[in-house]
Chain A
């Protein structure tokens, strides 16, 4: 199989980005990578270091604790903790044209969710499977939080190198270990605010 070494080379190149020091050029807006069903990422995978690592930050808000604030242009998801602080996670967001804003609720939570790509996604990426059972090779990753009645959710990923990028079809993805952490903190019914930078 030629796919595996290629993938390793790709991962190595991605890993090299943060180490290359002061980046005068910002990372590309949209990462050119498709879903990779079958590629394995374990439940232990977290973003260990750098700005997209899970960390407590100063965050002033009137929203009650356990509210989720997703800032798509920043590539961060905040869980409001009260007392001017929030737990911040690095996320991957929808690519250009697949970013949205709004107010939602966590309607349901699932562990190792199955994946049924919606028809519009199949139309764009006909090579995708029609159904895939949950597990470490599933692009939905370790956990999913379903947002209202939308087709969107906050989920894990089997491509942790895509955190910080605009790539998905509108879902918000976290590394598997990080989405498990989030899953345990956030109850069903939690308020979710999805923000994007202002339009000129």
Chain B
């Protein structure tokens, strides 16, 4: 062996060691070694992440289960860590969790300042209005001259003020110290409407004696895009989380659900075959097995199943798909193609 060759061999070994070492510390390898995914969720928010008969359930919980299914082949290999709003990002930065899936809004500051990165939008939330059904109000633009109940010290107060000013409407904001008092103000008739984020309005409505007596207007006047978060220093893991989310959305678009997975295996449509891993080798590109997306769908269903079961028609919340409907069906939910 010439010195040239042995040097080349040695540098190859070094390269191999270096890449091996970094691979050892990657989140994907850690999750595989541990055999479970560490998922940060809320302390308890009905429909999104909450405990039911000692088990975690909800929209954000099911997304982590989908990632576990894609990465570990089993949707049950997740341990959930309930986190308060103030501790959630630090828990992710410090490596206590692999994913933060906790109704968190995607903002510039959270990425640029905290060194985190959002893996997309799984739920487009935003500020809305609840009114009494018998008031026959169908649009937020009909609230001129009326009173609106809002919680003090929230962004909702500013957003509402700006919205009414922008539409040249005179609306009196009745401010209450907390969420319970705001709802009580609405129930007692101190205002014609109450305002907070849309998902919150549906949750508050359930607390009314007769939820059917109140309606939530279709108007959304602010952007609160909620999605899963990972650390910015591990792009390979980020990509996996991001494409699991995209796979669930694409699955809905292609009609692949828990009910049609068997039929999908026989499909001759290229899009469907790539999604379920029959062709294309997309899983390998992500460092996963080729049936990664099929396992995620098998574990939690496609996006529509995930949505309807947790916050839609299968849930007491009954939140209409609205903005979260597919881009092709009246909403703005959009995922790049799997190819």
The count of A-to-B residue pairs whose CB atoms sit within 8 angstroms is 86
Of the four ranges (under 10, 10 to 19, 20 to 34, 35 or more), the interface on chain A belongs to: 35 or more
- Contact flag A50-B263 (CB < 8 Å), given A58-B331, A59-B330, A71-B329: no
Do the beta carbons of A200 and B272 come within 8 Å of each other?
yes
Task: Let me know if B138 and A200 touch, CB within 8 A.
Answer: no
- Rounded to whole Å, the gap between the CB of B274 and the closest CB of chain A is 13
The DSSP consensus for interface residues of chain B is loop
Interface of chain A residues 1 through 56 with chain B (CB within 8 A):
18-19, 21-24, 26-27, 29, 48-53, 55-56
Counting CB contacts under 8 A, is B144 at the interface? Answer: no
**Whole-angstrom CA separation of A86 from B320 in the bound complex:** 11
Residues of A with C-beta under 8 A to B210? 49
Does A22 lie within 8 Å of B322, measured CB to CB?
no
Residue of B nearest to A27 (CB): B314
- How near does chain B come to A174, taking the closest CB pair, in angstroms? 16
Are A23 and B309 touching (Cβ within 8 A)? yes
Residue of A nearest to B251 (CB): A200
Q: CA separation between A24 and B269, bound complex, in Å?
A: 31
Collect the chain B residues with CB atoms within 8 Å of residue A69's CB.
330
* Contact-size category for B: 35 or more
Interface pair B330/A86, CB less than 8 Å apart: yes
Across-interface contacts of A110 in B (CB, < 8 A): none
Q: What sequence of 0s and 1s flags, for each residue 175-216 of chain B, a beta carbon within 8 Å of any chain A beta carbon?
A: 000000000000000000000000000000000001110011
| Residues of the A chain whose Cβ atoms lie less than 8 Å from the Cβ of B323 | 58
Is residue A130 contacting chain B, with contact meaning CB distance below 8 A? no
A85 beta carbon closer than 8 Å to chain B:
yes
Q: Does B310 contact A (CB under 8 A)?
A: yes
Cβ-based interface call for B172 (8 A): no
Chain B residue nearest to A20 in the complex (CB): B316
Q: Which residue of A lies closest to B313 (CB)?
A: A51
**Contact with A198, one of B220, B254, B308 (Cβ below 8 angstroms):** B254
The CA-CA distance from A56 to B140 in the complex, in Å, is 12
Pairwise interchain contact A200-B312, C-beta atoms closer than 8 A: no
Which residue on chain A has the smallest CB distance to residue B314?
A23
B57 within 8 A of A: yes
- Nearest Cβ in chain A — how far from B134, in angstroms? 13
- Report whether A56 and B315 are in contact in the complex, using a CB–CB cutoff of 8 Å: no
Q: Pick the contact of A21 from B216, B259, B316 — CB < 8 Å?
A: B316
Residue numbers in B under 8 Å from A57 (CB-CB):
218, 320-322
Per-position binary interface string of chain A over residues 141-168, scored 1 when its CB falls under 8 Å from any chain B CB and 0 otherwise: 0000000000000000000000010000
Q: Nearest-CB distance from A121 to chain B (Å)?
A: 27
A18 to B269, CA, bound (A): 37
Q: Which residue of chain B is the closest to A61 with respect to CB atoms?
A: B330
Bound: A48/B312 CA distance, A: 17
- Chain B residue numbers with a CB within 8 Å of A60 are 330-332
Residues of A within 8 A of B320 (CB): 51, 55, 57-58, 88
* Contact with A199, one of B255, B308, B310, B331 (Cβ below 8 angstroms): B255
Check A22 against B255 for contact (C-beta < 8 Å). no
Give complex CA distance A51, B323 in Å: 16
Interface on B for A, CB 8 Å cutoff? 46-47, 52, 57, 138-139, 210-212, 215-218, 220, 253-256, 259-260, 263-264, 267, 269, 272, 305, 308-310, 312-316, 318, 320-323, 325, 329-332
A-B pairs, top 7 by smallest CB distance, nearest first, are A49-B212, A198-B255, A51-B318, A58-B322, A51-B313, A57-B320, A200-B264
A-B contact pairs, 27 of them (CB 8 A): A22-B314, A23-B309, A26-B309, A26-B314, A49-B210, A50-B318, A51-B318, A51-B320, A56-B217, A56-B218, A57-B218, A57-B320, A57-B321, A58-B320, A58-B323, A58-B330, A59-B218, A60-B330, A61-B330, A69-B330, A78-B330, A85-B139, A88-B320, A198-B255, A200-B256, A200-B263, A200-B264
